[in-house]
Chain A
Amino acid sequence: QVQLQESGPGLVKPSQTLSLTCSVSGGSISSGSYYWSWIRQRPGRGLEWIGYIYNNGNTYYNSSLKSRVDISLDTSKNQFSLKLTSVTTADTAVYYCARAATVLLDSWGQGTLVTVSS
């Protein structure tokens, strides 16, 4: 069974870049027809899709975040990453990585809280 684990700084200063990595175990991110995804949940709010990357490197982003988001794959480490630039306090959230089989998100990481504050 595939498992996912987010890692990265829990505190980021405004205007800086948020960088998170998702380590995948129990399966290769290079194989299968999966989209490797990032979702976030702001405090007290619902889920927000950030984007995903297919194993061929094609990326798909939420249009509201597209100008600031970059998702990439590192197949040698079986990881994928999220970069969100020019962050503000509105980007404070729990960030989840997940595996998507077409659309449905069948495996999730436990989530990591990222606070944007000076």
Chain B
Amino acid sequence: QSVLTQPPSVSGAPGQRVTISCTGTTSNIGAGFDVHWYHQLPGTAPRLVIYATNNRPSRVPDRFSGSKSGTSASLTITGLQPEDEGDYYCHSHDSGLRGSVFGGGTKLTVL
């Protein structure tokens, strides 16, 4: 059972928009800690796609965006591309656990 809760799967057709949610508590997201998002392809290491809620590394297209409200955060991908498929994980800090916490991951399928 992960500390941060994500839907197991989402899907969308090419060109569409999808949103992946990440629900936490008042000890992590709700406490104001930053949320980060990673994309993982099978057999490879995760790669950062969004950091500090809504900032993109330079190599990540602006189709990716993030937001946060209360104890939840979201990752939105617009203009879905086949290469966006894979698993996405949210990540934050938890003051009660005194360490990093991850979501359980969401598998994105591009139909």
What is the 8 Å Cβ interface bit string for chain A, positions 46-89, against chain B (1 contact, 0 not)?
A: 11110110000000111100000000000000000000000000
For A46, list chain B residues within 8 Å (CB). 2, 89, 102-105
Residues of chain B with a CB closer than 8 A to A62's CB: 97, 99
**Quick check: is B56 within 8 A (CB to CB) of the other chain?**
no
Is B93 among interface residues, defined by CB-CB distance under 8 A?
yes
Q: Which residue of A lies closest to B106 (CB)?
A: A46
Residues of B within 8 A of A37 (CB): 100
Q: Do A111 and B45 have beta carbons less than 8 Å apart?
A: yes
Residues of B within 8 A of A109 (CB): 45
Inter-subunit contact A108/B99 (CB<8 Å): no
Interface size class of B (residues with CB under 8 A): 20 to 34
Q: By the criterion CB–CB under 8 Å, are A106 and B51 in contact?
A: yes
CB contact under 8 A between A105 and B36, given known A46-B104, A47-B89: yes
Asked whether, in the complex, the Cβ of B105 is within 8 Å of the Cβ of A104, the reply is no
Interface size, chain A (Cβ < 8 Å): 22
Is A63 touching B99 in the complex (CB atoms < 8 A)? yes
Whether A104 lies near B52 (C-beta < 8 A) is yes
A110 interface residue (CB < 8 Å to B): yes
Instruction: State whether the Cβ of A103 lies closer than 8 Å to any Cβ in chain B.
Output: yes
B interface footprint on A37-48 (CB within 8 Å = 1, 0 otherwise): 100000000111
The residue in chain A whose Cβ has the minimal distance to the Cβ of B33 is: A103
**Binary CB contact string for chain A from 82 to 118 against chain B (1 if under 8 A, 0 otherwise):** 0000000000000010001011111011110000000
A43 to chain B, nearest CB (A): 12
B101 touches A104 (CB 8 A): no
A positions within 8 Å CB-CB of B: 37, 46-49, 51-52, 60-63, 96, 100, 102-106, 108-111
- Report B's interface with A, CB cutoff 8 A: 2, 33-34, 36, 38, 44-48, 51-52, 57, 89, 91-93, 97-105
